[in-house]
Structure 1
Amino acid sequence: MKPMTEREIRTAFVNCTKGEAKRLFIPHDLAERPWDDLDFLGWRDPQAPDRAYLAIELDGRATALALRCPTHVPWRTRRSMCSMCVTTHTGGVSLMVAAKAGRAGQQGNSVGAYICSDLACPLYVRGRKNAGVGARLHESLTLEEKIQRTVTNLSAFVAKVIA
């Protein structure tokens, strides 16, 4: 993924107003992010734990989503699987919900997916971050195929939000 600036990210949001995009939290350490290892940039808002965001480049264009996620989940001791990167975590997967873009989102329609709570899917796939014993199932896929699967899953999620 090519590095993104704060301005690029703010203008890429498709499921919130320009005013909301202007006020939301963007990490200050964008220059230090491992862009070569990222297929998308995901982050949580430290001031609002129920908010998360992600930005991805699709078809040469930046797209960003505002997500909502639960702050307290009673089943955190269960092992769950991320629907994007297929990493299993004990308490590290959350249902992330995105309001649909446009009129549908204004009417309250949304799309959800189970995603790694820290939004570090690209790092788990590449082995740069460890989710613990048994987190990555043995697969016969190559690293490139695993990366492509993650991008395809995320692209499908983004397409549902935009549709």
Structure 2
Amino acid sequence: MRPVTEREVRASFVNCTKGEAKRLAVPRNLSTWPWEDLDFLGWQDPAAPERAYLVAEVGDGLVGVALRRAAPHAGHVRRSMCSLCLTTHSRDGVSLMTAARSGRNGQQGNSVGAYFCSDLACSLYLRGKKQVGPGGRPHETLSLEEKIQRTAEYLAGFLGKVVA
């Protein structure tokens, strides 16, 4: 992903108002993110753990979505798999995240959900830059480029449902 500015991030959101986009918590250290290793920019709101945000390059522009993270289940010990990068986490490492659909559908309360890595560090797990532990990444015969392409396709599918 190419480096982006706070202004570009705020302007990219498709499922919230301009006022909401202006008030959301954008990471302050955007210049230090590992852009060459990112397929999308994803972060949690430090003041509201149930909120997360995702910004991805789509065509020539950016598409940002505000996400709601489902509350983790007490005593949750099973393993879950992220639907983007296929990384398996135990406990609350994977969360159901929902995004209000853009436009009239979102205003009527319609949303789209998927299971994502709770920290939205899918790109780093995929490249082995961030480790989950034993059994976190299944062995695959795909090349890294093919895994990145698959993740990009899954992400495009999710974003397509949000903006449809």
Q: Residues 99 and 79 from structure 1, CA distance in 2 versus in 1: closer, same or farther, beyond 3 angstroms?
A: same
Partner residue of 1:5? 5
Once superposed, which parts of structure 1, at least 4 consecutive aligned residues long, lie more than 6 Å away?
A: none
**Alignment RMSD:** 0.8
Output the CA distance in 2 between the equivalents of 1:89 and 1:138.
15
Deviations 1:72-101 (A, max 9, x none): 323531100000000000020000000000
Residues 1:126 and 2:127 are matched in the alignment: yes
For normalisation by structure 1, the TM-score amounts to 0.98
Whether the aligned pair in 1 keeps the contact of 2:44 and 2:119 (CA below 8 Å) is yes
Q: CA deviation at 1:71?
A: 3.3
- Per-residue CA deviation, residues 79-138 of structure 1 (Å, 9 max, x unaligned), is 000000000000200000000000000000000000000000000000000011100101
For residue 26 of structure 2, what is the aligned residue in structure 1? 26
Q: Does 1:94 align with 2:95?
A: yes
The 3-state SS of whatever aligns with 1:42 is strand
Are residues 1:67 and 2:105 paired?
no
Match of 2:148 in 1: 147
Count of equivalent residues: 163
How many angstroms apart in 1 are the aligned matches of 2:57 and 2:2? 8
- Once residues 147 and 159 of structure 1 are traced to their aligned partners in structure 2, the CA distance between those partners, rounded to angstroms, is 18
Q: What runs of 5+ residues in structure 1 fail to find an aligned partner?
A: none
Long gaps (5+) in structure 2 = none
Identity level (%): 62
What are the within-5 Å matches in structure 2 for residues 46-65 of structure 1? Answer: 46-65=46-65
Q: Which residue does the alignment assign to 1:77? A: 77
* Aligned residue identity for 1:66: A
